[in-house]
Structures are given as C-alpha cells and as structure tokens.
C-alpha cells in the first residue's frame, strides 16, 4: 500500500480532495483548506500545496474527479445492465448527489468559483466529462450528433439539480429527488406525445432518443 509520503502529486491530489471539500465548508476553497486536509491525512502542507498549482479550480476539479471515480466503482456493468436507460441515468445522478451530501456549503462555494468568467471554459469541460462518464456507464455508444446533445443536456439537468440540492432542507432531500424525477418524467411525457404525433403508427418510442433530446425547462 502506498504511503502518503510515497504518493505522486497526482495521487496526493485525489487523496486530499475529499478532505479539502470537507474543510471548504468552513474555510472555502482556500489555502487554509489545503492545510487542514494535509493535517487530516498526515501530509506535508507545503507538498500538498504543490498538488494544486491552479488554486481553487484545481481543488474543485480534484473533488469532482473523486466523485467520478466513486461512481465508476459503484456501478459495474452488471449492476446497470438490467435497468432501463432512464433508470440508469437517474441512478447515476442520484449517486453523485448522495456522494456529496453534507457538503452543500462547499458545493455552493465551488459553484460560485466555477461561474467566474475566467473559469467558465474549464467548468464546462469538467461538466462535460462527468456527463460523458455517466452516459458511458449507461452503455451509450452514440457517435452522431446525439453523442453531443445527450451529454450537453444531461450536464444541464445535473447542474440544475445540484442547484436545488444545495438549498434543499427537506427530509432525505425529497425536494431534490422530486425535481430530478420531474425533469425526466415531464420530458418523457412530452417526447412520447410528440413521437405519436409524428408517427401515429408507431406503438413505442426510443428512450435513448428521448434522453438524447432532453430539454431543460425554464422553471
């Protein structure tokens, strides 16, 4: 087993990320959070700083990377294989929300930093990566325009759900769960009606195509 002292900076970055997120609840995504995290895992603070040369965005990116990794570990192919596409996506998004439960203040601070003009391009790239990973775990193999629309739209839905999650004080995050369900179910009803209208002889519609054309509502 690799010890903290023997870790590469990339390994240390991921080791520290969850502790930094926990510290960010109180200290923000700051040097103080790095020092606190280093103390928690027994790392040298000066070395820990070297793992995040890009400051707050590097810390936030590492946190998101750890959530991505946990999601991959939690959803082997056989676990998702029997689920409908809709339930695969719902389960993956819900896992990510559960993984950051209790860190809502860190999430709010991270969102504010990611929304800064100088950080938008990197934030979009990070969001795209997570959406792409979810779709790949769900078994998506699209290579046409649907590949891009699916990830863009899922990223939008996930971002909107995170915003609800951050301020949700209902028991068991019931409001967030209901919000996510409405985003999926509402569009399903619309897409089903649209499919029948465009092709009345067709008895069913493709859930995969539906998810590829999801639209985030204005409210």
User: What stretches in the chain show pLDDT beneath 50?
Assistant: 216-218
pLDDT tens digit sequence for 64-83: 999 999 999 999 989 998 99
| DSSP calls for the chain | ---GGG--HHHHHHHHHHHHHHHHHHH-SSHHHHHHHHHHHT--HHHHHHT-TTTHHHHHHHHHHHHHHHHHHH--HHHHTTS-HHHHHHHHHHHHHHHTTT-HHHHHHHHHHHTSGGGHHHHHHHHHHHHHHHHHHTT----SHHHHHHHHHHHHHHHHHHHHHHT--SGGGHHHHHHHHHHHHHHHHHHHHHHHHH-TT-----HHHHHHT------
pLDDT tens digit sequence for 175-190: 999 999 988 776 556 5
Q: What local confidence, expressed as pLDDT, does residue 79 receive?
A: 92
Q: What local confidence, expressed as pLDDT, does residue 189 receive?
A: 65
Q: What local confidence, expressed as pLDDT, does residue 154 receive?
A: 87
Segments making up each domain of the chain, as ranges:
1-53, 75-212
What predicted TM-score, i.e. pTM, was given to this entire model?
0.84
Q: What local confidence, expressed as pLDDT, does residue 195 receive?
A: 55
């Amino acid at each position: 087993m690799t010890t903290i002292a023997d870790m590469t900076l990339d390994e240390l970055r991921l080791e520290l990320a969850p502790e930094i997120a926990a510290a960010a609840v109180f200290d923000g995504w700051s040097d103080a959070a790095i020092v606190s995290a280093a103390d928690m895992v027994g790392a040298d603070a000066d070395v820990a700083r070297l793992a995040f040369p890009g400051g707050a965005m590097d810390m936030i990116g590492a946190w998101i990377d750890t959530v991505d990794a946990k999601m991959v570990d939690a959803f082997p192919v056989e676990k998702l294989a029997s689920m409908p596409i809709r339930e695969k996506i719902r389960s993956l998004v819900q896992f990510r929300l559960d993984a950051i439960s209790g860190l809502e203040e860190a999430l709010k601070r991270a969102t504010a930093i990611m929304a800064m003009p100088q950080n938008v391009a990197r934030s979009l790239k990070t969001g795209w990566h997570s959406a792409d990973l979810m779709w790949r775990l769900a078994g998506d193999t699209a290579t046409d325009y649907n590949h891009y629309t699916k990830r863009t739209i899922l990223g939008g839905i996930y971002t909107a759900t995170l915003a609800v999650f951050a301020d949700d004080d209902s028991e068991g995050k019931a409001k967030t769960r209901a919000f996510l369900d409405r985003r999926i179910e509402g569009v399903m009803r619309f897409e089903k009606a649209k499919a029948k209208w465009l092709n009345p002889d067709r008895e069913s519609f493709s859930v995969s195509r539906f998810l590829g054309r999801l639209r985030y509502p204005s409210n």
